[in-house]
Amino acid sequence: MHAMRTLLIFALLVLPAFAQPSPSAHLALTPPMGWNSWNKFACNVSDELVRGMADAVVQSGMKDAGYRYVVIDDCWQVRRDENGNIVADSQRFPNGIKALADYIHTLGLKFGIYSDAGSKTCEGRPGSLGHEYQDALQYASWEVDYLKYDWCNASTQDARASYALMRDALDATGRPIVLSICEWGKHQPWLWGREVGGNLWRATGDIQDRWGEKKEWKPGDCCSYGVTAIIDELADLYSYAGPGHWNDPDMLEVGNGGMTDTEYRSHFSFWALLAAPLIAGNDLRNMRPEIHDILTNKEVIAINQDPLGRQGQRVRKDSDREVWSKQLVDGSRAVILFNRGEAEQNIVATWEDIGYPGKVVASVRDLWQHKDLGKQSGKFGAAVPPHGVVMLTVQP
Ligand code: GLA
C-alpha cells in the first residue's frame, strides 16, 4: 500500500518535471510580424539605426498594427574572443547588444538577431558551427526573442540536424526564442521544419525588390526572386503551414523603391493571404503615406493573423487572371483577384471556386477600399489593374 502511494506520488509530482513542455512550444501561433535590417541596409547596421527603427515602429503606428520583432540581420558580429564568445562590432554597437535589446524591450517590442549554421555567415562573419550552445546562452543572456539562422558555408552539414541542434540549444536556455530557418528551401524544410522546432522556414532564395522572375545572381549562382516568382514557389506548400510553423517567402520589399505602389499592394496582399511572416524591410523613419498605408492596413493584416492559420491557395487560373482563397476561422474566406497581365481585366471568383455552394448569398467587403460591396449571389467580379489585386472577404 505504502509502495503504491510512493509510486503514485512519484508519477504525479516527479515525472511531469521531466516532461516540461519546451519553452518554445507556444511561439508564433500567428505569423511573426516585425522589421529586419537586411533588405534595405545590408551590412550597414548600427545601434543608432536599430534604435531609430524601433522608435519608428512605435511612432508610425506599426506597433499598433501588430509589428513586434525588431531583427538585426548579418554583420553585427565581428569575431570570437579567446573563450569563443561571439563579439559584436564595438564601433557600430558601442553600448553592446544587451543595452540595445533592453531599449527595444522598453518600447514593448521584441528583439531578434542573426547567425548561421555554418562556419561563417553569408557576409563572412563568424557562424555558430561548434558554438551552438555557447551562442544560445549568449543570446538568452542578452534577452533575444528571435533568431534568424542562415545556411551559408554549411559545407556537408545535414540541414535538419543543424537546425534541430540550434533549437535544442535555444530551448536549453529556458528562454522562448523564435527560430527562423533560412536555408532557402534547399533541403525542403517544409517537410521537417516543424518537427525540429522551426517556427518559419524560407522556401526560396532571396527576394529582390522587383515584380517578377527568378534570376541568377551571377552565372551558375542561383537565384534571386521577384515577387511573382516567390508566389509561384509558395503556391504548392499550403499544407505545411499552420500555427507555430510557417512557410517564409522572405521579408517584405514594400517601400524600397523597385516596384509601383500597385505592385507593393499586391506583394503585401499575397504575403497576408499566404500566412507569411510580415517582416518589413524598408526604412520606417521616412515612409511615404502610400507605403505607410500598405504596411498598416489592419484589414489585410487581420487576414494574415487569422488564428486558424491556414495558408491561402490558388483556386483558379485562366491565363494571367487568377483567384486565390484563404479559409478564415469564422468560416468566411479572404479572396484575391489577381491580374498578372499588362492591361486592366475583369476577374470573377465564383463561390464554388472558394468552397461554397453556388446558391449561397454572401457579404463581400473590399479590404483596400475599406468598403462593403453588399450581398452577392454565387460570384463576384471586379476590374483589376495590371499587376494589381482586388482583395476581399466573402462571408456567407
Ligand atoms: C542570406 C539570407 C538573407 C540575408 C543574407 C545576409 O542571403 O538569405 O536573407 O540574411 O544572407 O548575409
Percent of all residues in the chain with a pLDDT value above 70, rounded to a whole number: 95
Q: What is the pLDDT of residue 11?
A: 59
Q: What is the pLDDT of residue 43?
A: 98
**Does any ligand 1 atom lie closer than 6 A to the CB of residue 283?**
no
Ligand 1, residues 35, 36, 37, 38: which to mutate, most atoms within 8 A of Cβ?
38
**Does any ligand 1 atom lie closer than 6 A to the CB of residue 116?**
no
Q: What is the pLDDT of residue 12?
A: 56
Q: What is the pLDDT of residue 10?
A: 57
Q: What is the DSSP string of 152-216?
A: TT-TT--HHHHHHHHHHHHHHTT---EEEE-STTTT-GGGTTTTTT-SEEE-SS-B-SSSS-EEE
Range 257-262 average pLDDT: 98
Q: What is the pLDDT of residue 21?
A: 79
Averaged pLDDT score across all residues of the chain: 96
Q: What is the pLDDT of residue 9?
A: 59
**Does any ligand 1 atom lie closer than 6 A to the CB of residue 225?**
no
Q: What is the pLDDT of residue 73?
A: 98
Tell me, yes or no, if 206 is annotated catalytic: yes
Nearest to 336 by CA among 261, 296, 373, 388: 388
With a cut of 90, say whether residue 283 has pLDDT above it. Answer: yes
Q: DSSP state, 74?
A: T
Range 12-20 average pLDDT: 59
C-alpha dist (Å) from residue 345 to 49, 50, 325:
43, 42, 19
Confidence of residue 3 (pLDDT cuts 50, 70, 90): low
Confidence of residue 19 (pLDDT cuts 50, 70, 90): low
Range 80-93 average pLDDT: 98
Q: What is the pLDDT of residue 36?
A: 99
**Rounded CA gap, 218 and 196, in Å?**
33
Q: What is the pLDDT of residue 261?
A: 98
Model pLDDT for residues 265-279, shown as the tens digit of each residue: 999 999 999 999 999
Model pLDDT for residues 158-183, shown as the tens digit of each residue: 999 999 999 999 999 999 999 999 99
Q: Cα(202) to centroid of ligand 1, in Å?
A: 11
Q: What is the pLDDT of residue 5?
A: 65
Model pLDDT for residues 336-362, shown as the tens digit of each residue: 999 999 999 999 999 999 999 999 999
With a cut of 80, say whether residue 204 has pLDDT above it. Answer: yes
